[in-house]
Amino acid sequence: MHSLVGGVNFLLKTVPREAFTYLDGQKDFVEIDHNDLYPYLLVNIGSGVSMIKVDGDGKYERISGTSLGGGTFLGLGKLLTKCKSFDELLELSHHGNNRVIDMLVGDIYGGTDYSKIGLSSTAIASSFGKAISDGKELEDYQPEDVARSLLRMISNNIGQIAYLNALRFGLKRIFFGGFFIRGLEYTMDTISVAVHFWSRGEAKAMFLRHEGFLGALGAFTSYETHSNNDSKPQHHTVQRAILNCSGDDSFRHIPVTSNLNDSETIECSISLV
């Protein structure tokens, strides 16, 4: 967890256009004021979910979480669809329609909004709710629809819990990361909709372009070693630069003040001080 937080702090302070929002198919980069970064909520979605309040470099606390995460998605997905891998299940969900299985507000109220309490007809009233009364067995449903409903159920739940924890601690920023997201647009959009709905538009879910490397970057930037001749620890200072490797295995340094596109990668070099 220490490495995870360190990796996020490193990216947000070092890499331009690292954080972005994704809502209704629109990706917008967010400028981060380094002097007003803390505190923020980090939601790391792996097999389960950890929600971490970050107050500064090395200052953090796990304030909440849920057992319903990526492991739940893959575990139930394997049982319900016979998919063998996370990627296969995600790809299957791309082609599904969760409305075939999910009970919507409109299904309860004659196809109309429940405007009195602010619910649209397309809001999910009950995940997998239609399976109660359809009189169908599992094999009667398309596996892609099952995968889509499952993905939306878990993403909605995470988004709601994340916002409620941000509200509890008065946190303005919520960053989501972890293997579950993988840059999947539908997942990001579902989490964003959940945060937008429960906050009444006051909060936004934010994502990181290099969220798959948080732990590795954090471990690298906080690395300490002992020399053979001195018992004092030698700290390695990360040079804040982006490196590209060319075909002849030479390296080219690009200042971090430049804008990066999505095809460029981050590598780090170190110098002993």
- Which burial class, exposed, middle or buried, applies to 137 when counting CB atoms under 10 A from its CB (0-12, 13-18, 19+)? exposed
Position 201 scores a pLDDT of 87
Position 230 scores a pLDDT of 53
Position 166 scores a pLDDT of 95
User: How far is it, in rounded angstroms, from Cα 25 to Cα 34?
Assistant: 28
pTM greater than 0.85: no
Position 109 scores a pLDDT of 85
Compute φ and ψ for 52, nearest 5 degrees. Answer: -120, 125
Over its length of 273 residues, how does the chain's per-residue pLDDT go in tens digits? 889 999 999 999 988 899 999 998 899 999 988 888 999 999 999 999 999 999 998 899 999 999 999 999 999 999 999 999 999 999 999 899 999 999 999 888 888 877 777 778 888 889 999 998 878 899 999 999 999 999 999 999 999 999 999 999 999 899 999 988 888 888 899 899 889 988 888 899 999 998 888 888 888 887 754 344 555 544 444 444 443 333 333 333 344 444 445 555 555 554 433
DSSP result, 31-88: ---GGG--SEEEEEESSSEEEEEEEETTEEEEEEEES-SHHHHHHHHHHHH---SHHH
Question: Given strand 233-239, what is the order of strands in its sheet?
Answer: 224-226, 233-239, 269-272
Cα distances (Å, whole numbers) of residue 133 to 51, 98, 125, 129, 130: 36, 16, 14, 8, 6
